[in-house]
Structure formats: structure tokens, C-alpha cells
Chains A and B, each alone.
Chain A
Amino acid sequence: MPRSLTKKRWKLSVIQDWQLYALLLVPMLYFVVFKYIPMYGVTIAFKEFNMFQGIWKSPWAGFDAFREIFKMKDFYKVLRNTFMLNLLDLVISFPAPIILALLLNEVRVKWFKKGAQTVLYLPHFISWVIIGGMVYQLLSTNTGLVNILLKSAGVKAIPFLTEPAYWVATYVGTGVWQNAGWGTIIYLAALTGINKELYEAAEVDGAGRLRKIWNITLPGIKPTIIILLIINIGHMASIGFERPYVLGNPLVTDVSDVISTFVYKVGIHSARYTIATAIGLFQAVVGLVFLLSSNYISKKITDQGIW
């Protein structure tokens, strides 16, 4: 197609659909300003950034920042902690909603199922600050309800929040608490898509309940499981800020300091913008690599992918 013609078509289309473009204008501006300008801002990692000069005018510094972070001991610590906590989340928190959804799916009493769902979704709507408050109320060594009950049962109090190994368990446990119920929604949605006739056919063949779950229900939600698994693996390198920040305390920094809290400490507290940006960029790139490779592998093995 000649160039002038394409141009003309573009013009025509913009004139015809000007209202649609007008609607899109401000949202796209939002993405440019608040998403793409910060992406350009990652060049701070390669500059000797100075707030007064701005990103553009600050002098280039090459890979100095990266050389520096790879020399930092704390960097390896937070990297290890991020992967460790995410891996535990993947192993423990990921299957929890699947199991819960399978159980809920087998509940035949309608009102009970609905009531249970209402209660199970609730923690998802509670903020990490509040969960943090609850955790301290329930688990602190001297005044926490759980330890009071343990002590009255003659068991030694457990230092849930102050001993690294227990702290990790607490971290993972609160994650399950907040999200297991909510996570079932997506699986329950997938379950409604399974053909009912399959179950009838299996019954005729004499399949028991477990057999049906194993041979029909699970394969039915397999695509959903795989997609969520890819997304989760893709997020291995990135970690939310609020959960480790709220639950962490000075006694467990060896396990609770993660990339996000470290970037906050180094960048915003100590104003070492270049170093903090470099760490953030490192995390984003590793995350992207994880996402792309898990998607690629999954496509090879199961023919399923996010794209």
C-alpha cells in the first residue's frame, strides 16, 4: 500500500473515532508519565545521579553501581532471603488454594459452602499493617494468645517473631492465612467450566470420588494451575514490600531483609539513589528472565503459556 494512502486512512480513522482517541488520551498519558518515565529513570543506575541536575543532566558512570552492589555482603543476603521466602511461598502457599478449592467443590450443603467462602475470602481484604498487629497480638512470646495457651498446656513458649526459623514460618503462615481462601476463587471459576457429563460417565464406569477428583477435576483445572504457576515463578525475584516490612524486626534481619526493604533502606533512607536503582533494575531483569524462561519451558512441556 502506498504510504500516502496509509496516512490518509490513519487520518480518516482518527477523525471518525476521535471520541475513542479522546477517551484514551489521559489514560495513555498516565502510562507514559507514571510507568514509562520511571522505566527511562532506570538509567539512574548508570549515572552519578544528582537530584538537582536531574536524570538527564547527571553524568554517566557506566557499571560502577553494579560493581559496587556485587561487592556488598548485604546484597547477597537480601537476594538469598527474597528467593528463599518466595520459594517457600511457592511450595506451601501455592498448593493451599488448590486443595481448599477441591474441598469446597466437594461440599454439597449449599449454605455451608457459601458461608465458608465468605469467611475464607475475608483475610484478603485485611491490610498487612492490621495483620501485623494481629500477629503480634497472637504470637508474641510473652503476651501472645498462642504462647499463653502453649504455656498453660505446659509447653515452652515459641519465639515466633524473634527466632529466624520461626519467623520464616510465621511469614509463610500469614501468607497462607491471607491468600489461601481468596486464591480459591479462580480455581472454583475454572471448576465450573468442567463438563458435567464426564463425571456421569466416570460414575457409570464405577469411579469413586477420589478417582473422579484425580482423573477429571484436577486435569480440568490444570491449565489454570499452570498459568498461575508460571506467573508465580516469574515473580520469584520480586517481593512485596509491606509483608516483610511489617513482620520484620531488628532480631530477624538475617532472614527478613529482602530486596524491596533493602532498596527502601538504601535508596530512600540513605538517599543512595544510584545503588538502589541498580538493585531494583537487577531485580526487574532477573524477574523478566524468570518469567520468560518459565513460560518457555511450560510451553515446551505442556503447551500452555501466558502468551
Chain B
Amino acid sequence: MKRSIQDKIMDSFILVVVTAASVLCLVPILHLAAISLSSNGAILSNKVTIIPVELSIMAYEVVLKDAKMIGSLFFTILLVILYTIICMIMTICAAYPLTKKKLKGRDLFLLMIVFTMFFSGGLIPEYILVKTLKLTNTIWALVLPGMINAFYLIILKSFFSSIPEELEESAKMDGSTHFGTLVRIVLPLSLPVLATLSLFYAVGRWNGFMDALFYITKAELYPIQLKLYQLVISNQMSDATATEGLTSTAPIPESLKAASIMFATIPILLVYPWLQRYFISGIMIGAVKG
């Protein structure tokens, strides 16, 4: 088919806009990476844009030698793994029975779950609950309160429902129990959506810091984001407001802040491309049916 000039102009216009949007997404990350890899002198004289100037890995060396930073990193990795495993087990356990239409009480259970998506006790009752259960300053304060995301549960349930019933029926004929069918038939067929939800839970945990801010005061239990918040934001905030006459704390070199930020971002940049194809298909299913 021949394309008109008008069509070609529009195509180029679209390419330009989409490219510009993509560049905008990358520039902040590239700038931070460049800062983290530049010498302090170059940063202070404002020479660094998105390419490192006077390449230096000093900042990373400092971060890697900081025992507290490494401790926080390992704690966060442990936390994310523990959290993701527990979340996935819980979500699967809830989603599978709820696909069974003949399960008595199913509608009530579903209603109870969906209702929590629209109404919640709020911050303070949750905070008091965690305190009353004596979970503060334990890893469990960061795991238990968010074990199931109701929205992910619905996504998983609708995926499970899309698996042909005949498959499960025939397994039942062969004497398979509900557990057996779930483990041997349903789960292997659901790998893309399981990968997607695991990624979401893991990223959510990796990126979250609000609960840690509320519940954790012991420095050994600081997840990386809370550590970063204290290192970077509180510090930078005083920098930003210093010129307006507010007092500033001892400054941390820009490259060190940037390196710490990169340090917490790199793991995500590493996992993300591998799981991308999964989460797109996973979210599509959730979106279309959900």
C-alpha cells in the first residue's frame, strides 16, 4: 500500500515524541550514574551531564567498604526473598480455592477480600496492631502486614479460572487430590503470571520504606530504602534549603550519594529486563479479565 506524505509526516512526528519520552525516562538515571562515576572536582564545577567526567570509582569503593550499607543490603535481600516466597504461597493458597464455583461460602470470602480494597482501618489502627503484636523492630513488621495484595490475588484468580476445567477434571478422575492438581497442573501452567506477581511483590518490598520508617528503629534492620532516605534525602533536603537560610548538616559528597542510589537501583535494572516479557503477558491477562 502506498503511503501519503501526510502519513509519513505523522509517522515521523510519532517517532519523535516517543523517542523524546523514552529519553526523558532515561536521562535522570544516566545523570545519576554519571555523577556516581565522576570525580568530586568535576561534579562541583558542574561539568557532569550524562557522561562521567574524570572517571572515578572511588564512590563505589566507599559504599562497598561501608559495613552498614552492606549489612543493610544483605538484610534487604533476605527480606525481599522471605517476603516474596510468603506472599506467593499465601496468594496461591487463597486464589486456587476461590476459583471453585461450588465451594460453599466462596462469595462471602470474595466479598471480604474485595471490601478491603475499598476500605481500610487506616494508618494508626494498623500501627497500633503491629505494636500490640510486638512486631516492631522485627523483620516480621515488614513481612506480615502486607502478605497478600488483594488486587494481585484477583489477577491470579482470574488466571487460574482461565485454565480449562477439563484438565482439572481429568486429573480428578485419575485420583488427584486438590493439592495434587494445584501443584502438578495448575501451577506449572501459570508460570508467567506467577513470575509477574513475584516480581511485583519483590519490587514492592525492595522499594518500600514507609513501613520501615514507622516500625523499625534498630539500625541493623534498616532496609536499603530507609538507609538511603536518611543518607540522601534528609541530607539533600538540608542542602537544598541551606541557601534559604536553614542550617545544613555536614555535607556528603555528591558522588557518594549518587553511588548509594545507584547501588539500590542496579539490582532492579538487572532483574527487570529478564522478567519484562512475563509481566507484560501477566498484566494483560489481569487487565483484560480483571
Contacts and interface: CB of A to CB of B under 8 A. Distances in A.
Contacts of A251: 241, 244, 246
Contact of B94 (A28, A54, A242, A280): A28
B263 to A, nearest CB: 10
B21 A127 contact: no
Contacts of B261: 130, 133-134
| Centre residue among B29, B254, B257 by max chain A CB count within 10 A | B29
Nearest to A128: B207
Contact of A103 (B6, B14, B119, B226): B14
Given A41-B121, A288-B118, A288-B119, A23 B19 contact: no
B25 A181 contact: yes
A190 B288 contact: yes
Interface string A221-257: 0001000000000100000011001100111000000
A123 B124 CA distance: 30
B148 A31 contact: yes
Main secondary structure of the interface of A (DSSP, over half): helix
A98 interface: no
A198 interface: no
B65 interface: no
A26 B109 CA distance: 13
B46 A148 contact: yes
B134 interface: no
A33 B244 CA distance: 47
Contacts of A107: 14-15, 18
Nearest to B104: A13
Interface in A267-301: 267-268, 273, 276-277, 280-281, 283-284, 287-288, 291
A277 B6 CA distance: 59
Contact of A119 (B22, B226, B268): B22
Contact of B18 (A13, A104, A141, A276): A104
A280 B283 contact: no
Contacts of A136: 232-233, 236-237, 239-240
A133 B243 contact: no
Contact of A129 (B147, B225, B273): B225
B283 A186 contact: yes
B92 to A, nearest CB: 8
B100 A118 contact: no
B28 A134 contact: yes
- Residue with the highest number of chain B CB atoms closer than 10 Å, among A39, A115, A208: A39
A30 to B, nearest CB: 5
Given A133-B228, A177-B24, A291 B118 contact: yes
B258 interface: yes
A131 B287 CA distance: 27
A30 B241 CA distance: 44
Instruction: Give the secondary structure class of B's interface.
Output: helix
A258 to B, nearest CB: 12
Given A251-B244, A263-B123, A129 B128 contact: no
Contacts of A287: 118
Contacts of A246: 229, 233
Contacts of B209: 127-129, 242
B125 A38 contact: yes
A2 to B, nearest CB: 17
A73 B46 CA distance: 43
Given A20-B178, A107-B14, A129-B232, A145 B49 contact: yes
A44 interface: yes
A193 B284 CA distance: 11
B121 A40 contact: yes
A207 interface: no
Contacts of A210: 10
Nearest to A141: B243
10 contacts: A24-B93, A26-B90, A31-B113, A34-B129, A39-B121, A41-B129, A119-B26, A129-B207, A143-B46, A277-B124
Interface of B: 6-7, 10-11, 14-15, 17-19, 21-22, 24-26, 28-29, 31-32, 35, 46, 48-49, 90-91, 93-94, 96-98, 100, 102-104, 109, 112-113, 116, 118-129, 131-132, 144-145, 147-148, 177-179, 182, 203, 206-210, 214, 225-226, 228-229, 232-233, 236-237, 239-241, 243-244, 246, 254, 257-258, 261, 264-265, 268-269, 272-273, 276, 280, 283-284, 287-288
Given A30-B90, A127-B206, A185-B280, 14 more contacts: A34-B129, A35-B116, A44-B128, A103-B17, A118-B273, A123-B25, A133-B32, A133-B261, A137-B257, A189-B287, A209-B10, A242-B209, A249-B240, A264-B214
